Amino acid sequence: MRKKIIISISFFLILISYLTFVDFKGDWALRNGGLDNLRTFFFESLWPPDWSVLDPRAYPVCERNIGLFCSIAWTGMVETIKIAFVATVFGFIIALPISSLAASNLAPPVVSLIARTTLAGMRSLPSIIWAVLFVVVVGFGPFAGVLAMTFYTIGYLGKLQFEAIEGIQNTPLEAHRAMGMNRLEIFIFVVIPESANNLISHMMFMFEYNVRHGTVIGLVGAGGIGWHISNYLKFLQYDKVLALLIVIFLTVVVIDLSSQFVRSFFNENNDSRNKTWLSVFLPANAVLSKEEE
């Protein structure tokens, strides 16, 4: 019975999605040359990427032994990482107490509603809008980017945190309440240790997201590598933009691998054997026999 309900709901969602897509399609005849236009744009404007972004800048004069450290790609990417790191740490510290007030298993309903509304309000504005507001307040530069990213991180990360807190089993919470512990003590000594793995995972994900999104807030003058991308776009230097996008991609991959390594220390199953690609395509007994050989 349950499988039939799941199948029915899935079919219904697919049908609604298809009907919505058909309603959006518009005049397909105008899109017939889209692939040709994309091919022309890629090979004439984007490819090959202009790796001069890795050369040292003429001004200010590079005083380092390795010229790469004075390049636009390096300085812009480092500034973006700094903005994302500071915003993620500040956002995590501020969002954690707010998320404890938003969790329905820790706070009264009225307090939880107010905290959730606050987080929703901070999350409803995209980080680029926050960046525009703070550029007006504090001017162009990375400080505006830090403030914009911090506000958005609080709203986004706070939601993930209170959902992780609400996922904690009620048994340890009720046991410590019976022992006479107050809400603050329960939050510090029970909730945080129980949800530490999820909290760290969310923070690492948010840091990776902020690094990627730092390219967007830079478009409005909030610093980082996005500032250079914005300048190149104004002068139609798409080959340099592509080179910077490749640098961003490689940076995000490194951060993702690093976050996976960090999360392994908070995973209770970190001593278990890693799954192999064979386990995806072969039964478990077949994989074991392969490994024994």
pLDDT tens digits, one per residue of 141-175: 788 888 888 888 888 888 888 888 877 777 666 67
Closest residue by Cα to residue 72 from 83, 87, 85, 59: 59
Long-range CB contacts (< 8 A, 24+ apart) of 76-79?
Answer: 76/218, 76/224, 76/225, 76/226, 76/227, 76/228, 76/244, 77/225, 77/247, 77/248, 77/251, 79/142, 79/223, 79/224, 79/225
**Length of the chain, in residues:** 293
Gap between the Cα atoms of 263 and 267, Å rounded: 6
Give me the helix-helix angle, 72-102 and 196-217, nearest 10°.
130
Residue 221 has what pLDDT?
Answer: 64
Task: Flag whether 28 is in a domain.
Answer: no
**Angle subtended at Cα 109 by Cα 104 and Cα 114, rounded to the nearest 5 degrees:** 95
Contact 83, 142 (CB under 8 A): yes
Task: Flag whether 204 is in a domain.
Answer: yes
Task: Flag whether 22 is in a domain.
Answer: no
Binned average pLDDT, 10 residues per bin, the chain of 293 residues: 78 81 59 67 74 73 69 82 88 88 81 87 82 82 84 87 78 68 74 77 84 75 74 80 85 79 61 41 45 46
Task: Flag whether 227 is in a domain.
Answer: yes
Q: Give the residue numbers spanning the domain of 207.
A: 82-262
Residue 226 has what pLDDT?
Answer: 77
Gap between the Cα atoms of 139 and 132, Å rounded: 9
Beta bridge mates, 56: 71
The CATH number given to whatever domain includes residue 251 is 1.10.3720.10
Gap between the Cα atoms of 32 and 25, Å rounded: 13
The count of other CB atoms within 10 Å of the CB of residue 75 is 17
Residue 264 has what pLDDT?
Answer: 67
Task: Flag whether 235 is in a domain.
Answer: yes
Task: Flag whether 213 is in a domain.
Answer: yes
CA 180 to chain centre: 39
Gap between the Cα atoms of 45 and 60, Å rounded: 29
Task: Flag whether 77 is in a domain.
Answer: no
Backbone angles phi, psi at 178, to 5 degrees: -65, -25
Task: Flag whether 73 is in a domain.
Answer: no
Instruction: State pTM to two decimals.
Output: 0.71
Give the total number of structural domains in the chain.
Answer: 1
**CA torsion, ordered 209, 198, 269, 192, to nearest 10 deg:** 140
Residue 84 has what pLDDT?
Answer: 87
